[in-house]
Structure 1
Amino acid sequence: MSGTPLLSIRDLSVSYREKDDWSRVVHGVSLDVHRGEVVALVGESGSGKTTTAQSVIGLLPGNGRIDQGEIRLDGTDISRWPSRRLDAIRGARISLIPQDPGSALNPIRTIGAQVGEILKIHGWRDKKAIASRVVELLARVGLTEPELRARQYPHELSGGMKQRVLIAIAVALQPELIVADEPTSGLDVTVQRRILDLIDELRLEFGTSVLLVTHDLGVAADRAGRLVVMQGGRIQEEGPTAALIAAPRSAYARRLLADAPSLDMTVRRQPRPEPIRERDEADDFAVIVEDLTHDFPLADGGTFRAVDGISFRLRRGTTHALVGESGSGKTTTIRSIVGFEKPTAGRILVDGTDIAALHRADLRRFRRKIQLVYQNPFASLDPRQNVFEIIEEPLLNFDKREKDERRRSVESLLDRVGLSRTLLGRAPHALSGGQRQRVAIARALVLEPQVLVLDEAVSALDVTVQAQVLKLLDELQRDLGLTYLFVSHDLAVVRQIADSVSVLHRGRQVESGPVEQIFHAPTSSYTRDLLAAIPGRTGVERARTLSPGSDR
Structure 2
Amino acid sequence: MTDVLTDPAVAAPGQPDTVPVLELRNLSVSYADRHRKHRRVVHEVSLKILPGEVLALVGESGSGKSTTAQAVIGLLAGNGRVDGGSILLNGTDIAGWSQKRLESIRGAKIALIPQDPTSSLNPVLTVGAQVEEVLRLHTKLPKPKRRKRVLELLERVGIPEPERRAGQYAHELSGGMKQRVLIAAAIALEPQLIIADEATSALDVTVQRRILDLIDDLRAETGTAVLFVTHDLGVAADRADSVVVLKGGRVQEQGPTTQVLTNPSTDYTRQLLADAPSISPVVPRPAPKLGRTNTVQVDNLIQEFDTGRNQRFRAVDDVSFQVPQGSTHAIVGESGSGKTTTARALAGFQRPTSGSISISGHELSGLDAKSLRQFRKHVQLVYQNPFTSLDPRQTITRIIEEPLLNFGPVSRQDRVKAVRDLLHRVHLPESLLTKHPRELSGGQRQRVAIARALVLRPQVLILDEAVSALDVTVQSQILALLEELQRELDLTYVFITHDLAVVRQIADTVSVMSAGRQVETGTVSEVFDNPQHHYTRELIEAIPGNRKAKQ
Query: TM class, shorter-chain normalised?
Result: over 0.9
Aligned to 1:67: 83
Determine whether 1:485 maps to 2:494.
Answer: yes
Is the contact between residue 115 and residue 202 of structure 2 (CA under 8 Å) also seen in structure 1?
no
CA distance in 2, matches of 1:123, 1:515: 53
Aligned to 2:414: 405
1:231-246 alignment to 2 at 5 Å? 231-246=247-262
**Structure 2 SS opposite 1:12:** strand
Amino acid at match of 1:14: V
Aligned to 1:172: 188
Aligned to 1:531: 540
Among 162, 170, 189, the alignment partner of 2:178 is 162
Among 412, 418, 427, the alignment partner of 2:427 is 418
Determine whether 1:18 maps to 2:27.
Answer: no
**Structure 2 SS opposite 1:461:** coil
Is the contact between residue 7 and residue 34 of structure 1 (CA under 8 Å) also seen in structure 2?
yes
Determine whether 1:4 maps to 2:13.
Answer: no
Among 353, 371, 375, the alignment partner of 2:380 is 371
Amino acid at match of 1:425: T
Compared CA separation, residues 541 and 238, structure 1 to 2 (3 A)? farther
* Paired positions, count: 535
Which deviates more, 266-275 or 242-251?
A: 266-275
Is the contact between residue 241 and residue 257 of structure 2 (CA under 8 Å) also seen in structure 1?
yes
Amino acid at match of 2:81: R
CA distance in 2, matches of 1:406, 1:55: 48
Shift of 1:498: 0.2
Shift of 1:539: 4.6
1:254-403 alignment to 2 at 5 Å? 254-264=270-280, 266=282, 268-275=284-291, 284-403=293-412
CA distance in 1, matches of 2:160, 2:93: 41
**For each residue in 1:248-288, what CA deviation from the matched residue of structure 2 results, as whole angstroms up to 9, or x when unmatched?**
00110000011000103536322223137xxxxxxx01010
Is the contact between residue 37 and residue 209 of structure 1 (CA under 8 Å) also seen in structure 2?
yes
Shift of 1:540: 5.6
Determine whether 1:500 maps to 2:489.
Answer: no
CA distance in 1, matches of 2:103, 2:178: 24
**Structure 2 SS opposite 1:394:** helix
Shift of 1:183: 1.0
Among 222, 237, 240, the alignment partner of 1:224 is 240
Name stretches of at least 5 consecutive residues in structure 2 with no aligned partner: 1-15
Which deviates more, 258-267 or 115-124?
A: 258-267
**Structure 2 SS opposite 1:298:** strand
CA distance in 1, matches of 2:291, 2:360: 16
Amino acid at match of 1:233: G
Amino acid at match of 1:140: R
1:431-470 alignment to 2 at 5 Å? 431-470=440-479
TM-score if structure 1 supplies the norm length? 0.95
Shift of 1:185: 1.6
Aligned to 1:519: 528
CA distance in 2, matches of 1:456, 1:361: 29
Aligned to 2:50: 34
Amino acid at match of 1:243: Q
Is the contact between residue 92 and residue 173 of structure 1 (CA under 8 Å) also seen in structure 2?
yes
Amino acid at match of 2:22: L
Among 152, 163, 179, the alignment partner of 1:136 is 152
CA distance in 2, matches of 1:301, 1:521: 42
CA distance in 1, matches of 2:521, 2:238: 29
Among 85, 90, 98, the alignment partner of 1:82 is 98
**For each residue in 1:30-62, what CA deviation from the matched residue of structure 2 results, as whole angstroms up to 9, or x when unmatched?**
000111100000000000000000111111111
**Structure 1 SS opposite 2:28:** strand
Compared CA separation, residues 541 and 399, structure 1 to 2 (3 A)? farther
Amino acid at match of 2:131: V
CA distance in 2, matches of 1:503, 1:339: 22
Name stretches of at least 5 consecutive residues in structure 1 with no aligned partner: 277-283, 543-552
CA distance in 1, matches of 2:269, 2:281: 19
**For each residue in 1:302-332, what CA deviation from the matched residue of structure 2 results, as whole angstroms up to 9, or x when unmatched?**
1010000000001000000000011111111
TM-score if structure 2 supplies the norm length? 0.96
Q: What is the root-mean-square deviation in Å for CA atoms of aligned residues? A: 1.2
Aligned to 1:550: none
Amino acid at match of 1:515: V
Determine whether 1:92 maps to 2:108.
Answer: yes
Among 62, 65, 69, the alignment partner of 1:53 is 69
Shift of 1:444: 0.6
Is the contact between residue 295 and residue 344 of structure 1 (CA under 8 Å) also seen in structure 2?
yes
CA distance in 2, matches of 1:2, 1:234: 29
Aligned to 2:483: 474
CA distance in 2, matches of 1:63, 1:540: 43
CA distance in 1, matches of 2:187, 2:116: 17
Amino acid at match of 1:37: E
Is the contact between residue 273 and residue 280 of structure 2 (CA under 8 Å) also seen in structure 1?
no
CA distance in 1, matches of 2:285, 2:512: 18
CA distance in 2, matches of 1:151, 1:248: 49
Amino acid at match of 1:292: L
Q: Determine what percentage of the aligned residue pairs are the same residue.
A: 60
Is the contact between residue 283 and residue 505 of structure 2 (CA under 8 Å) also seen in structure 1?
yes
**Structure 1 SS opposite 2:308:** coil
CA distance in 2, matches of 1:249, 1:306: 49
**Structure 2 SS opposite 1:263:** coil
**Structure 2 SS opposite 1:332:** helix
Which deviates more, 83-92 or 527-536?
A: 83-92
Moved over 6 A (4+): none
CA distance in 2, matches of 1:207, 1:445: 53
Amino acid at match of 1:428: P
CA distance in 1, matches of 2:495, 2:71: 39
